[in-house]
């Protein structure tokens, strides 16, 4: 099988496994992203995410993360729900966390994709990544043409929006490279204007200290008192900058049962505060909500809804 045929097979199998996009870029040093990352870290915009300072060389060069790497395969996996659960004053959870933990749901598909590639193409060596290692996934997705980076720093796809997970296969096989796509944000600033805490301080630049997603998931300790009004009613993540994006009017519901919301979908703040650790583990043991844990969620509810 030639590299051209192998690339066609890769994309066909990715589609079969449920990915909405699959594109390829050459594994190389991210020279354009390096100064941006330097400036972002120097200004402390990563907030409490100290891990962003780690593995700097691997973050910018996938060949140091996967020796012998030749290509970075970027994939997108839809998570837009059929029903938006953030339409009332109940505690709100970002759409990506409605169902089971995306790390496992998407990575299982990646492992399956790598397995069929090895079966049909040969002994391909590489690794699968789903937001779990120092991989600059948006940079690679943009470079390969999965989409473009919007002003809210998230990846966008024309006529599809931004409600999708990104994943990568970094492998030693020379798949055929794809080309980037044009930026279609134009002069629109809806995401910047809508952010209640002013976290989008410039196009594609996020100050994590001000970001509701950072505050409700990554931040340890008390929530900033000055942002209490803005946080309400978000208790895990935030979708505001995506919800106002015109391109997300075109988003279509996903077909993945594992991403469907479970029993919590109609819970009130009182229901969440009465939850025990045992019940939380039973209901959310396979959910992204385990990152802040029950204590973190309840802290967020107290901050957003008051004691």
Residues catalogued as catalytic: 131
CB 160 within 8 A of CB 196: no
Element (H, E) at 73: strand 71-78
Angle at 39 between CA 33 and CA 44, to 5 degrees: 125
Residue 233 burial by Cβ neighbours in a 10 Å radius (0-12, 13-18, 19+):
middle
Q: Angle 102-121/3-16 helices, nearest 10 degrees?
A: 140
> Among candidates 194, 226, 190, 233, which has minimal Cα distance to 210?
226
Paired sense of beta strands 92-93 and 234-236, if any: parallel
Alpha-carbon separation of residue 230 from 193, 212, 222, 303 (angstroms): 14, 8, 15, 10
Cβ neighbours of 154 (radius 10 Å) = 20
């Amino acid at each position: 099988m030639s590299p051209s045929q192998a690339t066609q097979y890769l994309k066909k199998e990715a589609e079969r496994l449920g990915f909405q996009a699959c594109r390829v870029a050459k594994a190389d040093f991210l020279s354009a992203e390096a100064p941006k990352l330097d400036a972002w870290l120097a200004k402390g915009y990563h907030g409490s995410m100290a891990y962003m300072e780690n593995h700097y060389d691997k973050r910018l060069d996938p060949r140091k993360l996967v020796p012998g790497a030749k290509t970075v395969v970027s994939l997108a996996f839809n998570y837009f729900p059929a029903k938006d659960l953030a339409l009332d004053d109940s505690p709100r959870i970002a759409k990506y966390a409605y169902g089971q933990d995306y790390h496992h749901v998407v990575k299982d598909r990646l492992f399956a994709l790598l397995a069929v590639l090895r079966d049909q193409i040969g002994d391909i060596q590489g690794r699968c990544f789903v937001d779990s290692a120092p991989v600059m996934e948006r940079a690679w997705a943009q470079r390969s043409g999965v989409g473009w980076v919007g002003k809210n720093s998230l990846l966008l796809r024309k006529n599809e929006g931004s409600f999708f997970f990104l994943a990568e296969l970094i492998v030693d096989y020379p798949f055929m490279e794809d080309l980037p796509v044009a930026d279609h944000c134009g002069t629109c600033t809806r995401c910047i204007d809508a952010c209640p805490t002013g976290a989008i301080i410039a196009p594609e630049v996020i100050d994590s200290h001000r970001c509701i997603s950072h505050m409700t998931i990554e931040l340890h300790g008390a929530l900033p008192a000055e942002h209490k009004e803005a946080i309400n009613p978000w208790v895990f993540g935030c979708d505001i900058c995506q919800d106002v994006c015109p391109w997300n009017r075109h988003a279509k519901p996903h077909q993945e049962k594992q991403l469907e919301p479970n029993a919590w979908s109609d819970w009130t703040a009182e229901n969440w505060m009465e939850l025990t650790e045992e019940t939380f583990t039973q209901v959310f043991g396979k959910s992204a909500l385990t990152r802040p844990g029950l204590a973190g969620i309840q802290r967020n509810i107290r901050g957003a809804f008051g004691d």
